[in-house]
Amino acid sequence: MKATIILNTGLFLLILGSCNNKSEKISDSRENTNQVSESTDSLIYSEEKHFKKIKQLTFGGDNAEAYWSFDDKLLVFQSNFKEWDVACDQIFYMDPENDDLRNGRPNMLSTGMGRTTCGYFMPGDTTILYSSTHLGGDNCPPVPERVPGGKYLWPVYDAYDIFVSDMHGNIIQQLTKEPGYDAEATISPQGDKIVFTSTRSGDLELYIMDLDGSNIIQITDELGYDGGAFFSPDGTMLVFRSSRPKTEEEIAAYKELLTDGLVQPTAMEVYVINIDGTNMRQVTDLGKANWAPFFHPSGKKIIFSSNHKGSRGFEFNLYMVNLDGTGLERISHDAVFDAFPMFSYDGKKLVFSSNRNNHGTHNTNLFIADWVE
């Protein structure tokens, strides 16, 4: 996992399986025809003061959840690009400095069966963690039908489990075997713990386990969807997105959807919590959908995606905020969609997904920018 009445279902299925899905999507208002074989500032909007030397990495389909190797040399990501012979999201990896994905498919790490999400490098950069539904069937699981004026929904596939693969796509370990949804797994910068979202308690909660799948500890326990978690740089905290129903009507609707394996992600806020489950606090209170959070290298701020300033639901941009919710700053300015930000471990680069430079198509591509404080 792979936020609201937004974008295309393909992309937002990328979200929830989002460490963390394709309806209507408008064309990018900025059509840039410049060549992007070299790092360039031509893809940066004038207001984007934190970006320098941006580089486009993918050139078609929905590409998201790009995460760095521990040595900052490789990226693992998920894509549904049909020209790469996939029917739905699969896990790939690339060398962002040297690979040219306009001229061929990158190395695929997943099996090509089922749907996958949230690839993440294990310590040592020779194995990959990801979630897949392939044990539940070879075909892509069905996507909830979107009807005009209907609710925007994410599927929570019970067939998702968490696996470890080598760099040749061979599964070498299955980490979760409990019935129900186990996905959205990421690893601490210290390389010793995995956080993931699971329905094993009957609700969508956060759990932490050791790298071999042992010593599982439940972290959150309040009703609502908790997911898309990442560790702080020092490994002591988690940041995550949450949709917490409050009224009796909201609670009943949430429980009914979850029984059907669905979540409505139209109202989410960003939270932080200590890795022992203490001191949970809400960081944002902006309304609409605030998600895809990641810690700033300082550990004192959070970068995330939000549509709270948009008027049509699908306008997502990157924002940064202090841990206490103060100092909100807008980071990106694409007219349609910017999300899934992740800083490199050295803090010098930011990789993210965007609709910029898609020439009026529905493509969501990966970009890397040098980060400027």
For residue 178, how many C-alpha atoms fall within 13 Å in the half-sphere facing its CB? 16
Q: How far apart are CA 63 and CA 79, in angstroms?
A: 5
Helices and strands (H and E) in the chain: how many = 2, 26
C-alpha triplet 8, 6, 228: angle, nearest 5°: 90
Q: Write out pLDDT tens, residues 138-164.
A: 999 999 887 666 778 899 999 999 999
Structure tokens at 350: 């930011």
Residue linked to tokens 């020209």: 83
Q: What is the mean pLDDT of residues 228-242?
A: 98
In the chain, where the domains are located:
9-32+39-371
Residue 12 has pLDDT above 80, yes or no: no
- Identify the pLDDT of residue 265: 87
| 352: helix, strand or coil | strand
- Identify the pLDDT of residue 148: 65
Residues 6+ apart with CB under 8 A from 235: 188, 189, 190, 192, 193, 275
Average pLDDT of the chain is: 90
Residue whose C-alpha is closest to residue 1's, from 121, 133, 15: 15
Partners of residue 77 on adjacent β-strands: 92
- Identify the pLDDT of residue 41: 83
Amino acid found at 350:
L
Structure tokens at 316: 């997502």
Comparing 25 with 127, the larger pLDDT belongs to: 127
| 256: helix, strand or coil | helix
Ordered DSSP codes for 284-308? ---SSBEEEEEE-TTSSEEEEEE-T
Answer yes or no: CATH 1.10.10.10 is held by domain 9-32+39-371: no
Whole-model pTM? 0.91
- Nearest-Å Rg of the Cα atoms of the chain is 18
Comparing 346 with 312, the larger pLDDT belongs to: 346
